Amino acid sequence: MRKLLNSLYITDETVWLALDGENIVCKSDEGEKFRIPFVNIEEIFCFSYLGCSPALMGKCADLGISLNFISPQGEFLARVQGKTKGNIFLRKAQFEQFVAPPILLAQNTVAAKIHNTLFLIKRSLRDYPQINEGGELTCCIERLQTAINKTYEASDIGTLMGIEGNCAKEYFSIFDKLILSQKEDFYLVSRTKRPPLDKVNAMLSYLYTIMTSTYASALESVGLDSCYGFYHALRSGRSSLACDLVEETRCVIERLVLTLINLKKIHAKDFEIQESGSVFLTKEGKKKVLTAWQEKRRSMILHPFLKEKIPFGLLPYIQSSLLAKYIRGELSEYPCFLQK
């Protein structure tokens, strides 16, 4: 079992990272900001264009520490990864299977995403029944439940994507009702990605990027190629397989965003609006979101397949390991993560 350590998030755009012996050193024009031993770090997310020294990159690669470069606005740029781990035969099996992947693999992924979305809506409805005053949530739940059955009637990826797209449209059409406080500042009309056009979308995109990068690192750590997926199309520079597995856990991010807003842990002042209309988190806003994300990663969950309690932060590594077992033939079916 992988030990859950810490992630290092560099959100200050004026600093860069360097190597000093067995320490990561954060520097700026004013001098050294801090230093931290490698033993305490599992992965690094650098939201600064100034980046890192080549020596530090090499050390991270040798130690298996994932080094992710993300723009200050939250757009994934690149990742430094060490030598590929695992057996070459695992990747060979992955490539052979994913040339024409079993439709059931994609069906289960879409069904799991819809199931977990339903879990979020039903939990919110149970806690706050008044949000269903007009019956929109009940209608959405019924449509999503019907869609789960339709996923197993689909015979190709294109049809599945159509079902998933319709479900996403239904879900985000009622998402605004799940926002219970700060309504004048936080709202969601529709999902906007590049760039995000409101504060809710800004937080969603920011956390989706981080989670996708974590999944990519987890897949590489078990010996799989994170770029060769079974559902998302191949695209240069995209970790398609990481995008596939993230679908199962998007609702966790969405619930975290709702919690931050509804408990007033984040405010309108934590965002900046550019002239183009793009909305991004400020430096202080990023700190608040990342602090909440780290707390979530350390929270315990009961894994539905393993029947064991694990830190949520280990989920990407466990799901990656289960997928590797499925590809090797040790499991007859890949067990998607289902919230219960």
Q: What is d(CA 280, CA 261) in angstroms, rounded to the nearest whole number?
A: 15
Does residue 17 carry a pLDDT above 70?
yes
6-80 and 88-328: same fold? no
Q: Give the pair of three-digit tokens for residue 306.
A: 């393993």
Mean pLDDT, the chain, rounded, equals 88
Break the chain into its structural domains and give their ranges.
6-80, 88-328
Q: Please tell me the CATH superfamily of domain 6-80, with its number.
A: CRISPR-associated endonuclease Cas1, N-terminal domain (3.100.10.20)
Residue pLDDT, tens place only, 22-78: 899 998 888 888 888 888 787 788 877 788 888 988 888 888 787 878 777 667 777
Q: Are strands 16-20 and 6-10 parallel, antiparallel or unpaired?
A: unpaired
Q: Which residue has the tokens 């650098």?
A: 46
Q: Is the pTM of this model over 0.85?
A: no
Q: List Cβ neighbours of 133 (8 Å cut-off, separation of 6 or more).
A: none
Tens of pLDDT along 240-256?
A: 999 999 999 999 999 99
pLDDT of residue 83: 66
Would you state the pLDDT for residue 39?
A: 82
Q: What CATH number does the domain located at 88-328 have?
A: 1.20.120.920
The Cα 114–Cα 140 span in angstroms is 11
